[in-house]
Structure 1
Amino acid sequence: MAGSALHHDILIIGGGSAGIDVAARLRRAGAPDVGLLDPAETHWYQPLWTLVGGGAARLEESRRPQASVMPRGVAWIKDAAVAVDPDERVVTTAGGIRISYRQLVVCPGIQLDWERVPGMAEALDTPAGSSNYRPDLAPKTWELVRDLRSGTAVFTMPTGPIKCAGAPQKIAYLAADHWRRTGVLADIRIVLVLPTPGMFGIKEFADELERVAARYGIEVRTRSELTAVDPANRRATVTRHATGEAETIDYDLLHVVPPQSAPDWLKTSPLADPADPAGYVEVDRHTLRHVRYPTVFALGDAGSTPNSKTGAAIRKQAPVVVRNLIAAAEGRPLPAVYGGYASCPLTTARDRMLLAEFDYSMRPTPSFPFLDTTRERRDMWYLKRYGLPALYWNLMLKGLA
């Protein structure tokens, strides 16, 4: 098939939650020619990986065959994008296929840059290192948590936008709650390394998370970052942003989250925001249309919108993209607006959760105004554990939520 050519009226790059949701909505709206470019054979519900790492879910629950979630009538091209020419309206794949399009939706997800922190990738291959950001390692995280009876556990978060920005904290709380329940919490030093000034960007949620961290005796290092790992000697170097002062922490368990960016091919494309070294697609934050290429839209983790990169954000972005895509094709003004909604379900124990919902205003925007979701709640735990996965598989991926 190398060197061959295809054409689709609407081409979607990426078959994750964003791409499948948009494809399903387009088909429901009657779009006759939708192509979706993605090489994956497995579709993952990634929010469950934190619970896998915390011993509260099985990895098998988070995956299904990609073919089973592909909307009927969508042409699935099992290949990966390596280049895009928005002037010629052509995408080139790893297999050498050139796909022309009339309109393009870009949602290839986010790239995990393990190599940007010296020693981080190597630490994952040692008995004491893990990360819930890889599905093959999430079960290992639980094994490490379950087997640790004393010592030091370090949980880290990188600078810059990442998918599910609450995940680095969530696993720390789930681990601490397990150690509390098994009577060993007093024998384990827990260090949580955050690059941010506080626990969360919105005071109401930050205050509650400070109480949670204090309850578990977690040492929180704000405005700090993991800058190196010596996996052979189980040492983590944590650097304070303001002073450049480095602290070395010997660990018995290390859970890392890698720096993240747009896929490399996207960074070097004309679609990337030239002012952003992370290379995200430069879109209008309300219409989600590219600021320089009117036939291109983007959503999800690879977009430049200044909201948290979460599945909940995608759920609000997908209908905006579809409505505006159809309007643009018909030469009408774009009718739909994305207000920056994002949601971060923060598990604070094995039966408690804090549901942080907010938008561009950076104020709480609760979906359940009759519930105080700025506090830990047991009912929110059941939403996270059972409600949201059911919503994802049964409604969101079918363009119904």
Structure 2
Amino acid sequence: MSTNAAAPGNTETFDVVVIGGGAAGIGVTASLLRRRPDLRIAIVEPAERHYYQPAWTLVGGGAFNIDDTVRPMSSVMPGHAHWIKASASAIEPGQHTVRLDDGRSIGYRRLIVCPGLRLAWDRIEGLEATLGRNGVTSNYRFDLAPYTWQLVRELKGGKALFTQPGMPIKCAGAPQKALYLSCDYWRTQRVLDQIDVEFNLAGDVLFGVAAFVPSLMKYVERYRTSLAFGSNLVSVDGARKVATFAVKDANGSVARVEKPFDMLHVVPPQVPPALVSESVLADQAGWCEVDHATLAHPRVPDVFALGDACSAPNAKTAAAVRKQIVVVADNLLASLDGKPLPARYDGYGACPLTVEKGKVVLAEFGYGGKLLPTFPLNPTVPRASAWHLKASFLPWLYWNGLLKGREWLTASTAQPAKPANQAKLSA
């Protein structure tokens, strides 16, 4: 494994350059090398650590050890890949090159864009100054998930606010997972009656796939949670313990409303990275444009994308990446061989909704909200078996399957490619 694939001032060309060493980048590289070990693949990734982010909601609920969610990047990097420890600063499709922040450039025959998205903490005034103190936390950050659990354990009464920004976001069920696990703990400690719980959602639905809403509403009612739709967090005053929301009424008018809190769980706005949004690869919303079925760029055919940064209207989850990896690997190799692209992505994503400690609603769905359950059970029913899947099996599958190129349970139900502009799904 090389970390110095190209010397300053020179351009070395690889068969495949992968931008990003997250789940998508590591997973697709491992899958490509299992298919064709002689490929020269470079992964551009500056980070020294790799995280299993889906468990952070469990950490915030006291059901998972934060130390088990992180490993050295070197331990997950595919052995035959060239690891370039730098950040990509620009993509130049016309020259088939990627410019790096250290002044180097690298060339490619095929490019895979999967740098993830950006958590835009800065778009909420005052938030960054108070994160991790004054009762303000978020399970969307490694160092803050344990603080969530600390706040949950310590709160015996008062006001608890939970937020969800506008879509798209990573794992759109995660904001309410934090809510449910917190409330379940307060219920077991017999303090829930002393806590006023409110869930502020920028959108107008609890969950974007209607089939799961009735099951979730039973827990909202069980925990006596107030739902505030059209309520978007815009600023936080940690010292005063006051959160300000832009609240939209039925007529579309927006007013600013201050809400005091004792605990505030924040989910930040999430946006495409500038590397993508400022490139010619971006769609109108700033995401890397792809054909929703083949995951190839419709205007630049030697570019593929997957994961959170791509424009496919699926739920942005690790489960979606697991299916996308196979599609990109098959189609990229066919492209190199000058053959038609054979694989199709059906929009599959999964969101194991932890509605209480020990039970999960295993929401699996694809484009248009079509239910795509893996198991022959009613997917809307909370189950203990789904909890064990979420808390035990899926972390193991991530480290030992997805990141190793082992494509278990990854068959797609998609039919031949449809036009790229399919109906979008917000979940």
TM-score for both structures, normalised by structure 2: 0.91
Q: Please state if 1:211 is matched with 2:221.
A: no
- The one-letter code matched in structure 1 to 2:210 is K
Match of 2:253 in 1: 243
Within-5 A mapping of 1:256-295:
256-273=266-283, 275-276=284-285, 279-295=286-302
Aligned-CA RMSD value: 1.1
Which segments of structure 1 move beyond 4 Å, counting only runs of 4 or more? none
Q: State the 1:376 CA deviation.
A: 1.1
Tell me if structure 2 keeps the 8 A contact 1:4–1:96. no
Match of 2:363 in 1: 356
Match of 2:43 in 1: 36
Cα-to-partner distance string for 1:277-302 (whole Å, 9 max, x where unaligned): xx110111111011111110000000
Match of 2:164 in 1: 157
Q: Please state if 1:253 is matched with 2:263.
A: yes
Match of 1:46 in 2: 53
Q: How many angstroms apart in 1 are the aligned matches of 2:35 and 2:263?
A: 50
Q: State the 1:78 CA deviation.
A: 0.9
Tell me if structure 1 keeps the 8 A contact 2:361–2:386. yes
Q: Which moved more, 1:115-124 or 1:59-68?
A: 115-124
Q: Please state if 1:391 is matched with 2:397.
A: yes
Tell me if structure 1 keeps the 8 A contact 2:135–2:262. yes
Q: State the 1:125 CA deviation.
A: 4.5
- The one-letter code matched in structure 2 to 1:104 is L
Q: Please state if 1:173 is matched with 2:190.
A: no
- The one-letter code matched in structure 2 to 1:179 is W
Q: Please state if 1:21 is matched with 2:27.
A: yes
- SS of the residue 2:399 aligns to: helix
Within-5 A mapping of 1:1-400:
1-30=7-36, 31-241=38-248, 242-273=252-283, 275-276=284-285, 279-369=286-376, 371-400=377-406
Cα-to-partner distance string for 1:167-215 (whole Å, 9 max, x where unaligned): 1100010000000011100000111111222211122201111111100
- Mark the runs of 5 or more structure 2 residues left unpaired by the alignment: 1-6, 408-427
**Percent of pairs identical after alignment?**
47
Cα-to-partner distance string for 1:333-366 (whole Å, 9 max, x where unaligned): 1111101011111101111111111100312211
Tell me if structure 1 keeps the 8 A contact 2:171–2:317. yes
Tell me if structure 1 keeps the 8 A contact 2:134–2:239. no
- SS of the residue 1:169 aligns to: helix
Q: Which moved more, 1:195-204 or 1:5-14?
A: 195-204
- The one-letter code matched in structure 1 to 2:227 is V
Q: State the 1:119 CA deviation.
A: 1.7
Cα-to-partner distance string for 1:156-177 (whole Å, 9 max, x where unaligned): 0111211111111000100000
Q: State the 1:230 CA deviation.
A: 1.7
Q: How many angstroms apart in 2 are the aligned matches of 1:154 and 1:143?
A: 16
Tell me if structure 1 keeps the 8 A contact 2:165–2:203. no
- SS of the residue 2:367 aligns to: coil
- The one-letter code matched in structure 1 to 2:282 is A
Tell me if structure 1 keeps the 8 A contact 2:16–2:39. no
- The one-letter code matched in structure 1 to 2:400 is N
Q: Which moved more, 1:77-86 or 1:233-242?
A: 233-242
Cα-to-partner distance string for 1:135-160 (whole Å, 9 max, x where unaligned): 01111111011101111110101112
- SS of the residue 1:154 aligns to: strand
Cα-to-partner distance string for 1:290-325 (whole Å, 9 max, x where unaligned): 111111000000000011100010001000001110
Q: How many angstroms apart in 1 are the aligned matches of 2:161 and 2:397?
A: 33
- The one-letter code matched in structure 2 to 1:20 is I
Q: State the 1:108 CA deviation.
A: 0.5
Q: State the 1:71 CA deviation.
A: 1.2
Cα-to-partner distance string for 1:87-141 (whole Å, 9 max, x where unaligned): 1011011111100111000001110111111122223143310111110111111
Tell me if structure 2 keeps the 8 A contact 1:6–1:97. no
- The one-letter code matched in structure 2 to 1:375 is V
Tell me if structure 2 keeps the 8 A contact 1:144–1:253. yes
Q: State the 1:264 CA deviation.
A: 1.5
Tell me if structure 2 keeps the 8 A contact 1:8–1:34. yes
